[in-house]
Amino acid sequence: MANIRQLQVNSGPVTQCAQCPVREHALFQGVPLEQLQWTQHYREDQYRVDAKTRLFSEGDEHPYVYTLFTGWMMISKSLANGKRQILRFLLPGDFVGFQLQLHGKMTYSVHALTDCQLCAFPRADLDKMLNENAALATRMAMLNARDMAFCQQVLLATGQKNAMERMASLLLQLFIRVKTLRGLVKDSDENSIELPLSQEQIADALGMTKEHVNRTLREFRDAEILDVRSKRLRVMDEARLTEIAELDAKALAEQALL
């Protein structure tokens, strides 16, 4: 609740995106170029959003959908008593904002965890574009199916795994996704990734308290499996982590590639 601040979208297109690992808009990946010519006349703008600011909130009538180009964001839903569930962390390449009520109120909130750059589409245009281009609409369905599979994985974890297993699932999933993205943008450290999350955010993603997240992270550190410290996740024993998480690392990497 407390960390929701004013939206700061600096309008004006960002022409270049030099450090962006995903050059194409996610919706267009794999769609043949000649089928995209006609989309030229649809509006498409790039925006910056500062760390810790809100892109939109649950209940807003928000006119855009986005592809995240750089940075980390999160999607969340809250209850009246202030409890918050983080549904997903967004990484470069992820699509945000598509939902059933295309022109109704958003069913979740989106916040930037780091400074972000994103590509925006007017909802009205998206609607038309999908109905005019089957390859695009199919890709949209596929993106949705990927996110669905992920949401179901998290639901399985939240409903049936204990604290340690849930945490292993989340961290391994992020570890693999970030390393997969990195394939496109070379990096040095093989067994550590940037992890711009507070323990409270991890807690809200896993449905546990921040204190228990802290204790669980300590257990992992004591067992020399992983170490989360100063916004960095270091994995010492990936095999053991995979075992605890009970996830299929190969499937995760495939998902991350889409």
Partner DNA sequence: CGCCTTCTTGAGATGACTCAATGGTGGTGG
Partner DNA sequence: CCACCACCATTGAGTCATCTCAAGAAGGCG
Residue numbers of the site for DNA (CB under 7 A)? 2-3, 162-164, 198-200, 207-212, 214-215, 217-218, 229-231
Residue 43 binding partner per list a second copy, DNA, none, with a CB distance cut-off of 5 to 8 Å that depends on partner kind: none
Q: Which of 25, 184, 190 is nearest to 94 (CA)?
A: 25
Q: Which of 237, 213, 190, 207 is nearest to 87 (CA)?
A: 207
Q: 56 or 108, CB closer to a second copy?
A: 108
- Rule CB under 8 A: say whether 247 interacts with a second copy: no
Q: Which of 238, 240, 241 is nearest to 190 (CA)?
A: 238
Compute the distance between CA of residue 69 and CA of residue 47 in angstroms, rounded to an integer.
10
Compute the distance between CA of residue 22 and CA of residue 94 in angstroms, rounded to an integer.
10
Backbone φ/ψ region at 63: left (φ over 0), alpha (ψ -120 to 50), beta: alpha
Residue 199 binding partner per list DNA, a second copy, none, with a CB distance cut-off of 5 to 8 Å that depends on partner kind: DNA
Q: 3 or 144, CB closer to DNA?
A: 3
CB of 119 to a second copy, least distance (A): 19
Q: Within 145-204, which residues bind a second copy (CB under 8 A)? A: 145-149, 151-156, 158-161, 204
- Rule CB under 8 A: say whether 53 interacts with a second copy: no
Task: Indicate the angle between helix axes 210-222 and 199-206, nearest 10 degrees.
Answer: 100
- Rule CB under 8 A: say whether 239 interacts with a second copy: no
- Rule CB under 8 A: say whether 33 interacts with a second copy: no
Give, as one character, the DSSP assignment of residue 53: B
Q: Which residues bind a second copy (CB under 8 A)?
A: 77, 79-80, 83-85, 87, 98-101, 107-108, 130-138, 140-142, 144-149, 151-156, 158-161, 204, 206-207, 246, 251, 254-255, 258
